[in-house]
Amino acid sequence: MKYQFIKAAAASPQGKIADPAYNAKKIIEIVEKQAEKGTELLVFPELSLSGYTCGELFLQKTLLDGCLSALEAVAKATDGKKMLVYVGLPVMHGGKLYNCAAAVGNGKVLGFIPKRFLPNFGEYYEKRYFAPAPEGDSAVMLGETVVPFCRDLLVRDVSEPDLMIGCEICEDLWTGESPSVRHAKQGAAVIVNLSASNEVVGKREYRHKLLATQSRKNICAYIYANAGEWESTSDMIFSGNDLIYESDTLLGEARPFEGGLVEAEIDVGYLLHERMRNTSFEPVPHDENHILSCRFLTDGEPSLRKVDPTPFIPHDAGERREQAELILELQSHALARRLSHTGAKTAVIGVSGGLDSTLALLVICRAFDLLNQSRGDVVAISMPGFGTTLKTKNNANSLMQALGVTVRTVNISQTVLRHFKDIGHDPDDLNATYENAQARYRTMILMDVANETGGLVVGTGDLSELALGWCTYNGDHMSMYAVNSSIPKTLVRHLVEAEAARLGGRAEVVLKSILSTEISPELLPPDEKGNIAQKTEDLIGPYELHDFYLYHFIRRGDPPAKTLYLAGRAFEGKYDRATLKKWLVNFYKRFFAQQFKRNCVPDGVKVGAVSLSPRADWRMSSDASAALWIEEAENL
């Protein structure tokens, strides 16, 4: 389970009804193939050794004995393999017949989990043959071996005690008291379901909704193995619709009638991290007598899982447009509420011609439209300084004019030079004082204009800048409401693109010009050709990497080694390992060192799962040491 991923599969083999030996052969063939692929957890359907549609044959001792012999053959096939396998069969125990899942691994049968809820409607008549799972612990004799028999059995690997596997069977999932709820509370991060769910119109869609909900509310992975089309079609048909979910994310599916095999790699580390941070997930003590041990985890690296290089941005164009519109609505409604509550007559913003101030201005205009207030009350101020280029200055002015806001221009160069003289700073020394004096003076202008007009200063800084501390303390770091504070830099671009397409006309032309401009604070003079010389990503690293690191650090709780590995997968062919490592180390250094800036940021609306607000989502001491993270990253 390298990097806390477990490789899992669900399979629907082509068997024969009431032919356990044949079915075992088919199951073993899949076991062998999956072992070669490094699969660690393999799940087969309900009653997969006998067939689900045996009817009255379930009451025949010949079939029951044949299933136990077939089970022993499957168990023997796991000898020498690191794999946990679940198969289904009917089991006679204490004078009653039970529909059971058998957990198999390391060459032996580990335990039997009987089905708790039996359907007795429509095409299903399980209560005609089977008894519901009894309470309490008992055991079944297999030859000279005593095998536990209990509905609460969990399985764990001795090398990873925090990873436990729980099991339920078909109808158990569809009830209001699903055993998987208790399994999850007792520590099972992965739930397997051996199912025989027939196919009818709309049922596949319902399975998806049910599994997504079940896996999300229990913060678990869910592996669903469904009976295949070889089952009897006298009154119904089965399709081998196998599914694997991680929380509410579909990792893989064998669609109906398309082969009956799905493979995926489950991020167990993420699930365990999510449980830690979710205070509404309340674990309950588990009985150690209900824990079965098996060595099924390997050292293989995950190879199937796709790693998204842009985790904040949907890849589907339609979904991306829908998400952009929702975020813009969240931002603008939040700002409108703040403007209304404070009685602000104006909104004041500094417009640089860069992406962040552009997005903030677009949000302000939407907010004023919501309030039915004139855009003339939006006071947009261009404040060119030492590093302002002609392109960004023209873009800023053109955008303000296209949006119909009040335009002001305040050239800050001479005032800042006088300030340098007052404090004894040499203007030829292009140090932090040279840069930050400009940012702080701009903020003073905005605050004073807001006082003058009875307005509210709207901040422009984004989530990525907050994470890296790439802002001037009490300069662009400060405002009266920060609409972009939970928007990562990579997402800012897509929001501006979406609004450009919506607005069209002159605004779209200007916005496209802004989108083509390199990211820069423009605090240092342009080059000899008048172009931007101070390029942010040359100084602190590519934002696409930092946003990737931020997401995996905050949202998924990934340690440095795992993050670097995933980055290598996500950006393969674009960045080499040395580059990825360099900026990962830089990310940790900056993130920890700059917490003091985040501890006093203005209010700002949360729009996604990652936020660094010190009031809710990210509380961290400004004195916290980054030593552990940096040491691990540097030694990779």
Q: Which amino acid is at 600?
A: C
Give me the residues paired with residue 103 across strands: 86, 111
Catalytic residue among 54, 170, 220, 471: 170
Catalytic residue among 26, 82, 115, 562: 115
Residues 627 and 505 in one domain: yes
Residues 229 and 365 in one domain: no
Chain CA centroid to CA 627, Å:
26
Q: Which pLDDT does position 124 carry in this prediction?
A: 67
- Cite the beta strand spans of 196-336 per DSSP E: 221-226, 242-246, 249-254, 261-267, 291-293
Task: Please report which residue ranges of 238-384 form alpha helices under DSSP H.
Answer: 268-277, 317-342, 355-370
Question: Which of 231, 258, 293 corresponds to the end of one domain?
Answer: 293
> Is residue 121 over pLDDT 80?
no
Residues 328 and 223 in one domain: no
Cβ burial 362-371 (10 Å sphere, 16+ → b, else e): bbbbbbbebe
Question: Which tens digits make up the pLDDT trace of 188-199?
Answer: 999 999 999 999
Least confidently predicted of 11-20, 242-251, 373-382, 383-392:
383-392
Pairwise CA distance, residues 347 & 361, whole Å = 10
Is residue 115 part of the annotated active site? The answer reads: yes
Give me the residues paired with residue 381 across strands: 350, 408
Question: Which of 236, 261, 293 corresponds to the end of one domain?
Answer: 293
Give me the residues paired with residue 140 across strands: 147
The enclosing domain of 535 has a CATH number of 3.40.50.620
3-class SS at 360? helix
Using alpha carbons, list the distances in angstroms from residue 584 to 32, 157, 307, 550, 571.
40, 32, 17, 10, 13
Question: Which of 260, 293, 326 corresponds to the end of one domain?
Answer: 293
- Domain span at residue 340 reads 317-634
Q: Which pLDDT does position 534 carry in this prediction?
A: 73
Residues 282 and 328 in one domain: no
Residues 279 and 334 in one domain: no
134 pLDDT tier (thresholds 50, 70, 90): very high
3-class SS at 440? helix
Long-range contacts of 113-116 (CB under 8 A, 24+ apart): 113/150, 113/151, 113/153, 113/167, 113/168, 113/169, 114/149, 114/150, 114/151, 115/46, 115/168, 115/169, 115/170, 115/171, 115/172, 116/151, 116/168, 116/169, 116/172, 116/179
306 domain-assigned: no
311 domain-assigned: no
Is residue 246 part of the annotated active site? The answer reads: no
Residues 403 and 537 in one domain: yes
CB 299 within 8 A of CB 220: no
Q: Which pLDDT does position 385 carry in this prediction?
A: 93
Q: Classify residue 79 as exposed, middle or buried by CB count within 10 Å of its CB (0-12, 13-18, 19+).
A: exposed
453 domain-assigned: yes
Residues 21 and 53 in one domain: yes
Q: Which pLDDT does position 545 carry in this prediction?
A: 97
Question: Which tens digits make up the pLDDT trace of 45-70?
Answer: 999 999 999 999 999 999 999 999 99
The enclosing domain of 58 has a CATH number of 3.60.110.10
305 domain-assigned: no
421 domain-assigned: yes
3-class SS at 114? strand
> Is residue 123 over pLDDT 70?
no
388: tokens are 């302002």
Residues 259 and 325 in one domain: no
Residues 332 and 277 in one domain: no
299 domain-assigned: no
3-class SS at 614? coil
CB 266 within 8 A of CB 8: yes
593: tokens are 């060192």
Residues 586 and 532 in one domain: yes
Mean pLDDT of all residues in the chain? 94
- The percentage of residues in the chain with a pLDDT greater than 70, rounded to a whole number, is 99
Q: Classify residue 299 as exposed, middle or buried by CB count within 10 Å of its CB (0-12, 13-18, 19+).
A: exposed
Number of domains in the chain: 2
Q: Which pLDDT does position 2 carry in this prediction?
A: 87
CA contacts within 13 A on the Cβ side of 282: 1
Pairwise CA distance, residues 625 & 593, whole Å = 8
607: tokens are 């729009």
> Is residue 325 over pLDDT 90?
yes
Pairwise CA distance, residues 99 & 88, whole Å = 8
Catalytic residue among 40, 46, 263, 274: 46
Question: Which tens digits make up the pLDDT trace of 545-580?
Answer: 999 999 999 999 999 999 999 999 999 999 999 999
Q: Which amino acid is at 282?
A: E
Q: Which pLDDT does position 539 carry in this prediction?
A: 87
Is residue 46 part of the annotated active site? The answer reads: yes
312 domain-assigned: no
Q: Which has the closest alpha carbon to 554: 461, 476, 464?
A: 464
295: tokens are 């060595």
Q: Which pLDDT does position 178 carry in this prediction?
A: 94
Average pLDDT over residues 479-503: 96
274 domain-assigned: yes
Residues 359 and 214 in one domain: no
> Is residue 281 over pLDDT 80?
yes
Strand bridging mode 242-246 / 249-254 = antiparallel
Pairwise CA distance, residues 294 & 84, whole Å = 7
Pairwise CA distance, residues 452 & 448, whole Å = 6
> Is residue 245 over pLDDT 80?
yes
Least confidently predicted of 62-71, 181-190, 498-507, 522-531:
522-531
Residues 222 and 333 in one domain: no
